[in-house]
Structure 1
C-alpha cells in the first residue's frame, strides 16, 4: 500500500494516532495534515489545517486522501466538497481492510446496545477454545493497531464505522436496533441504514442476530436471505450457556442474550463448547456497563454507557425488586421516555433524580405515570448525589443509567461514570 499524495487526518483521537503511526511505518516521508472541529490537534508529525480553511485546501488539492475518525460525521457538508473534488475519504478500519484483511477470519459485531459485551465475550470464548483471536474496534485496539497479528479478528463496530465499511466480514452480528446517534447521522432512518450496512450487502458471509434483532422487519430486509443465518444453539447448548451465566458476573436478562449471541458466533467461528463456557466464566464487566460497587453497604451501579431509554430499562430489569434510586437524563437526542417512565415503579424505583436536558421530559412523564415516585430535578450530577445522600434511607441500590448521552455536561460517558463513582465514594463509603 502506497500513498501518492499527502493525507489529511480528520479528527485527533485514538484512531487518528493509530493511523498516523501506520502511515509513518508504511511511508515515513509522507506529508500528513490534521484538522479538528474542536479541541487540540495534537498528532505527532502533522501540520494543522483549521476547519474554516478546509474548502480552500480542498480547492488547492493540498491532500489526496482523508482518513476520517469515527466521531466525525460523514454527512458534514465539507465531505461533499471533497467528493466533488475527487478526494477519497476512508477510515482506520478500511485501511486495515486493505492492508490486513486477506487470509484472516473477520467477525464484525454491531448493534445499538450490547455490542461491546458481546464482542468481548466472543473473543474470550474463542481464545479459551485455543484459537488465535484478537479484539479491536471500539473495545480492544484500534483496527490498525491490531494489524495482522491474529488469524481471527473480532471487531466491535459503531454505526459510525459500519456506515462506510468497505470490506466484508466472515461473520456479521447484530445485537439489536433502536434509535440513537441521530445528531451524527442526521435522521433515524439514516442511522438504521448506516448500522445495517454491515449486513445489507452482497457477498458470502454468515449473519447472527440477537434475540431483540430477530423478527424486526427492517433487519429482515437487510438480511436478504435467511440462509445467511448461523445455526442457533441447540437446546443443550442453550441450557449450558444459561447455567454458566447464572454463576458469572453477567447480570440481567439482556446479558444472557449477549452471551447466547456470543456463543453462537464463537461456535460458528470454530470455537468449542468448553471454550464458550470458559469464556463466560472469565468475563469481567466492562467499565461503566452495569459496573457494581458496594459502598457503605449499598450497591452503586455505574451504567453510564446507557445512552438510550432501552438501555436504562435493561439496567433496571437487572435489579428489579430492589429499592432503587435512579439517576437519568443528559444530552438531547429527541428520544421517547414515556414508556420508560411508565415502567419505573414496577422495577422498584423509589427515587428519580433527573439531569438536564432530557431529564426534564422524563420527570414530567414520571409524574404523570407514577406520582408516588419522589423526583429530584438536579442541575448537575454533584447536586443529584448530594440530594440522594440526604435521602439515603429510601433506597438500597443507586443506579446511574442516564438513557441519554453525556455531551451537555461531560466529554464522554467514561468521564460521567468516573465522576459518579467518585461522588458516591465520598457520599456513601464512610
Structure 2
C-alpha cells in the first residue's frame, strides 16, 4: 500500500510489540501529518508525548476496527479471529508498507518450521563476507520498516505469521522444511502449511528441500511459477553421513565448523544453493560458513560443571527440533528437559522415535509437560522419567541426577509462553539457574 493512500485515511496500528512500534515510528517519519491510532493492552502504552499518536486500550472488536480505514496488524495477531474476519477496515501488514514504498536490493526470504533463524543469519554472514551490503530483517533481525537504507540484499527471516498475507515479494524464497507448529494461530496444520506456501508463490526463484514430504505434497497440489532450485538431492547440495556434499564432492563435515547436527548441515546446503543461484564463487562461501558461529539458545554449550555439560537449545519449539537436538548428543548420557506452552502439537511420533534410542533421563515440565510424561510412561520407554510443574525445579532435578560425563540438554520442543516472555528469557533463566 502506497503512503499517499494513507495520507487522508484513518489509520490504526494493532499491536505494540517490536513490529508495532516500528510501524508507528515509520508512519510518524514518512507521514508526519497523519494521526496514528495504536490498539494495544494498557501495559503497552508508552510514554511518548506525541499528540498525533493516540492509544486505545479497550478490547479489540470488529466494531473498533470498523472505525478505521486501514489497520496495520502486527504479525503475532491471528487474522483468523472474528474481529478480523468481520471488519470493514482494510487489514495490512508492515511488509505491505515496506514492499510498496521502501524496497531496496534483492530480497531473499527464508522460512521453515525449524532452522530459519540459523539459515538466515548464516546467509547474511556469507553475503557480508563476500563484501555485499546486507541487512538481516524480519522475524529475526531488525523489523522491515527500520530497513530504510540502500542495500544489496535484504535477508528476510520469515515466520508463517508474516508469510500469511502474501505481501512479501521475494526475489528468492527458501522453504527449509514443513512440520506441525502454531496450530493455535492458524487453526490447523493444513492452514499452517498453506500460509507458509504463500511466501513462495510470488518469488522469482524458489529453493526447496527435496527430502521434505510436506513440501512435495503442496507442490503437487499447487505448482509454483518461479524457477525451482533443490537442495538435499544428489544433483545439488546435500547432507550425507554428517558431511555437506556438492554432487559427489565433500565440502564440509560436522568436525569442520562450529555448529552441531545434521540439520545444520542441511541449513548450510540451503544457503549454498542460494549462493550458487546468485552466481557466487563457492570457495569463499564455504570458508565463510566454516567461520559462522552458533546463534544463542541454539544447541549452545553454556556451562561445564563437575564433569557435566549443559546445553541450551531453548529455541526448540517443536518435537522435530528436540529430535534433531538429541541426534547431536549421546542419549545414554543425556538428561533431557522437555515441555512448555501447549499448542496442541502431536507428540506421539516423537515418543516412537525416542523409544528407539532413549535418553538416560527425561524431565517434563510446563503446560504440556504432564501430557508428555503420560505418553512416555504409556509407551514404556526405558528411561527414568519424571514430571515437575516448573522448569526451574526440572533444572534442579537434572543437576542433582547428573553424573560426570553426562549432558543436560534443554530442548523443550514447545514454545515458552506458558511461563516466559520468549525463548530468550527461558534460555537466560536456564543459565542463571546453573550458577
TM-score, normalised relative to structure 1: 0.90
> Which residue in 2 is equivalent to 1:303?
313
Tell me, in whole angstroms, the C-alpha distance in 1 between the residues paired with 2:254 and 2:431.
26
Q: Deviations over 1:278-333 (max 9, x none)?
A: 32123121121111123213221111111111110000011135610000011112
More strand by share: 2
1:307 aligned counterpart, secondary structure: coil
> Which residue in 2 is equivalent to 1:32?
36
Tell me, in whole angstroms, the C-alpha distance in 2 between the residues paired with 1:215 and 1:163.
17
Q: Deviations over 1:234-257 (max 9, x none)?
A: 697467774265311110000000
Q: Deviations over 1:175-221 (max 9, x none)?
A: 0001110111112221111111112x3x5611111354367433323
> Which residue in 2 is equivalent to 1:89?
91
Cα 1:98–1:278 change in 2 (3 A) is same
Tell me, in whole angstroms, the C-alpha distance in 2 between the residues paired with 1:282 and 1:303.
21
Cα 1:43–1:260 change in 2 (3 A) is farther
Tell me, in whole angstroms, the C-alpha distance in 1 between the residues paired with 2:124 and 2:222.
24
Cα 1:216–1:54 change in 2 (3 A) is closer
Give yes or no for contact 2:172–2:203 (8 Å, CA) kept in 1.
no
Give yes or no for contact 2:340–2:416 (8 Å, CA) kept in 1.
yes
2:413 aligned counterpart, secondary structure: coil
Cα 1:239–1:277 change in 2 (3 A) is farther
Tell me, in whole angstroms, the C-alpha distance in 2 between the residues paired with 1:43 and 1:89.
26
1:108 aligned counterpart, secondary structure: strand
Tell me, in whole angstroms, the C-alpha distance in 1 between the residues paired with 2:93 and 2:379.
45
From 365, 372, 391, give the equivalent of 2:382. 372
Unaligned runs of 5+ in 2: 239-244
Greater alpha carbon shift after TM alignment, 43-52 vs 143-152: 43-52
Cα 1:286–1:267 change in 2 (3 A) is same
From 17, 23, 36, give the equivalent of 1:19. 23
Unaligned runs of 5+ in 1: none
Give yes or no for contact 1:175–1:212 (8 Å, CA) kept in 2.
no
> Which residue in 1 is equivalent to 2:212?
213
Cα 1:298–1:212 change in 2 (3 A) is farther
Residue 356 of structure 1 deviates from its aligned partner by: 3.0
Cα 1:167–1:157 change in 2 (3 A) is closer
Cα 1:78–1:381 change in 2 (3 A) is same
> Which residue in 2 is equivalent to 1:170?
171
Residue 396 of structure 1 deviates from its aligned partner by: 1.1
Give yes or no for contact 2:22–2:146 (8 Å, CA) kept in 1.
yes
Tell me, in whole angstroms, the C-alpha distance in 2 between the residues paired with 1:310 and 1:191.
16
1:47 aligned counterpart, secondary structure: strand
More helix by share: 1
Tell me, in whole angstroms, the C-alpha distance in 2 between the residues paired with 1:376 and 1:249.
33
1:367 aligned counterpart, secondary structure: helix
Give yes or no for contact 2:95–2:168 (8 Å, CA) kept in 1.
no
Matches within 5 A, 1:182-261: 182-199=183-200, 201=201, 203=202, 205-213=204-212, 216-221=215-220, 224-225=223-224, 228-230=227-229, 233=236, 237=246, 242-243=251-252, 245-261=254-270
Greater alpha carbon shift after TM alignment, 28-37 vs 246-255: 28-37
2:295 aligned counterpart, secondary structure: coil
Give yes or no for contact 1:196–1:222 (8 Å, CA) kept in 2.
no
The reply to whether residue 333 of structure 1 matches residue 332 of structure 2 is no
Give yes or no for contact 2:111–2:196 (8 Å, CA) kept in 1.
yes
2:199 aligned counterpart, secondary structure: coil
Matches within 5 A, 1:51-200: 51-52=58-59, 54-59=61-66, 61=67, 63-82=68-87, 85=88, 87-101=89-103, 104-199=105-200
Cα 1:10–1:222 change in 2 (3 A) is farther
